[in-house]
A = this chain, B = another copy of it.
């Protein structure tokens, strides 16, 4: 947000404690590194302080607390997605690209999934809602239905975020192995109470998450536009 560290330096010869001073930007960068390397629980003010070679309390001078830090980190990742996407010609393509971009961002930074589903009015979510809303508007949906349509898409994307976040929480093994395991577990469910889940267990192992997610977006778009002409 602010960059007080951009200051050039003042006098030579005095050895500084670190190569550069602490700053919100440096803290944010270190936090994202820690989150990417470990899981959600790896981000600790002690770990962060160690990586930045400072005391844990120093961080509080630049950042309000852990929630603030996480919100900023998620916003940083999502901002990269929305700014890259907004300027596409066909609004339907823009939405597709946007959704795919969120998927990829969460895949690359799984902790973002958890963070997005923690506070629906954090900056990252607002950014997404705005991007989606602009696309919906460009789609030619009547004014009164735009909020409705955008929030349905937003809700669906947050659902992905939650699902993906949790999915990664049980990893270590790779993705397909986890899916195969889950499919196997589903097959062992009681056929009387879980007929449907058992039946789709086979499809689970071979399905493509990303494809399925985009198809879901497609589905909602179809519903939005059908609704426009029908209702």
Q: Is the interface of A mostly helix, strand, loop or mixed?
A: helix
* Complex Cα spacing A173 to B227, Å: 36
Please give the number of chain A residues whose Cβ is less than 8 angstroms from any Cβ of chain B in the complex: 64
* Complex Cα spacing A181 to B161, Å: 26
Contact with B along A26-41 (1 / 0, CB 8 A): 0000000000000000
Shortest CB–CB separation between residue A64 and chain B, in angstroms? 15
- Give chain A interface residues in 191-205, CB to chain B under 8 Å: 193-197, 199-200, 203-204
- Check A46 for interface membership: any CB of B closer than 8 A: no
Count the copies: 2
- Give chain A interface residues in 48-88, CB to chain B under 8 Å: none
Contact B160 A155 (CB under 8 A): yes
User: Which residue of chain B lies nearest to A132 when distances are taken between CB atoms in the complex?
Assistant: B196
Contacts of A110 in B (CB 8 A): none
Contact B151 A216 (CB under 8 A): yes
Instruction: Tell which of A121, A207, A213, A227 has the most Cβ of chain B within 10 Å.
Output: A121
- Check A106 for interface membership: any CB of B closer than 8 A: no
A residues touching B (Cβ–Cβ < 8 Å)? 116-121, 126, 129-130, 133-134, 136-137, 144, 146-152, 154-163, 165-167, 169-170, 182, 185-186, 189, 193-197, 199-200, 203-204, 207, 212-213, 215-216, 218-224, 226-227, 230
Instruction: Please name the 8 residue pairs, one residue from A and one from B, whose CB atoms are nearest each other, closest first.
Output: A159-B159, A133-B196, A117-B162, A223-B223, A219-B223, A155-B159, A152-B216, A222-B223
